[in-house]
Amino acid sequence: MEHRTLGRSGLAVSTYALGTMTFGAEADEASSHRMMSQYVDAGGVVLETADVYAGGLSESIIGRWMAAQGSSTRDRVVLATKGRFPSRGVEPRDAGGSRRNLRRSLDRSLQRLGVDHVDLYQVHAHEAVTPMEETAGFLEDAVHQGKIGYAGLSNYTGWQTATMTALAAGRFPLVSHQPQYNLLVRETEHEIVPAAVAGGLGLLPWSPLAGGWLSGKYRRDARPEGATRLGEDPQRGMEAYDKRSGSQQTWDVLEALQQVAEGRGATMAQVALAWLHDRPGVSSVILGVRTPEQLEGNLGAVGLHLTDVETAKLDEASAPVVADYPYGPAGVAQRTRTLD
C-alpha cells in the first residue's frame, strides 16, 4: 500500500484508512478483529473511529484487538478518533465543542481504546454554540498534555476550516479534515477542499462509495431489497434511494463508472476509490465496510491509478450542477485571469 504524509505534517499514513463505524453495529467483534488484521496485513496503518460509533463499542473492540496484538502493532498503527456529538451518558445540551465535553469525550475514548494517547483527534463537526477559540484552546492543551499527537476537523465548512486553521497557527498541529467526498458528492470541492489545501490539511474523505451507490449494486428499475443498507432502510440518510435515484446525474455517473471499470478489468467500487485517491489534497481514503469480503474487494483498489482520459470521463459525468454564481462560469471568471 502507498503512503503519504497527512497534510503539511510529518505523519506518514497509508493512502487507504479503515473506517470502523460498523464495528459493534453491523459487524460483530470477531469480524471486526478479522478485518483489522486483514487491513494491517495489506499494509494499512490508519484505524479511524469515533466515540459515538456503536455507542462507544467500536472503540472498545479496537482496544481489545490492539491489546491482543501487542505493542508492535500499536506502534505501527496510526490511531484516530473523534469527539463532539452526544456520547453514552452525555446529555445533548452538554455535547459539542466545549472544553468540558471534549475533555470528557477524549478521556473516555482513551479508556475504551486502552491507550494513553491517540495519534489524531478530530472534532466531529462544528457547532454554533461554542466559540471556535474555545475548541482550539482544548486541542492545544490536549497536544501539550500528550493525549493527542495531532488535531483534525470533520464536517467543517470552508469558512469554518479557514477560521480553525488560523486559530491553530503556531499553537498546535492541525493537520487534517474529514469531509464526505465522492463521485456523487463533489460540492466539497467548492470551498472545503481549497480551504483544507490552503491551510495544509490533508483530506480524509468518508463515504467514498456514496453509501454503496458507487459499487453498482443499486438499479434504476428495482428498489433495493435484502441485506444491504438501503435494502434494510431505503430512506437511510443522505444516500436514500428515492433521493439519489431521482437524479439523472446519478445514473450518468454510474454508467461512466461502469465503462471505465470494464475497460480496466476492475470493479466499479475500485475505480471510484482510485478516482478519489488521486484527487488534490487527499491523504487517505476511509474504507467503510461491513464484512471481510467487502474489505478484500476495496483493497483491490490499492495500486490502481486512472489515466487522464479515464479521470476526465468521470469528472465530466460527475461535475456538480451549479448556478452561474458563485460557483458557475460567471463566478469562476471573476476569480481568474490570464497572463497572455
Q: Give the catalytic positions in this structure.
A: 53
| 210-241: b (≥16 Cβ within 10 Å) or e | bbbbbbbbbeeeeebeeebbbbeebebeebeb
Q: Give the distance, in angstroms, between the CA of residue 247 and the centroid of all CA atoms in the same chain.
A: 24
Residue 80 CB partners (closer than 8 Å, separation 6+): 17, 46, 47, 48, 49, 118, 119, 120, 121, 122, 152, 204
3-state secondary structure of 332: helix
Q: Which three three-digit cell numbers place residue 116?
A: 494513553
In whole angstroms, what is the distance from residue 109 CA to residue 123 CA? 13
| Residues 212 and 239: beta-carbon distance below 8 Å | yes
Q: Which segments of 192-285 does DSSP mark as H helices, in order? A: 192-198, 229-232, 241-245, 248-264, 268-277
Give the CA distances from residue 159 to residues 168, 198, 206, in Å, rounded to whole numbers and listed in that order: 14, 12, 20
Identify the CA nearest to 125 among candidates 93, 153, 159: 153
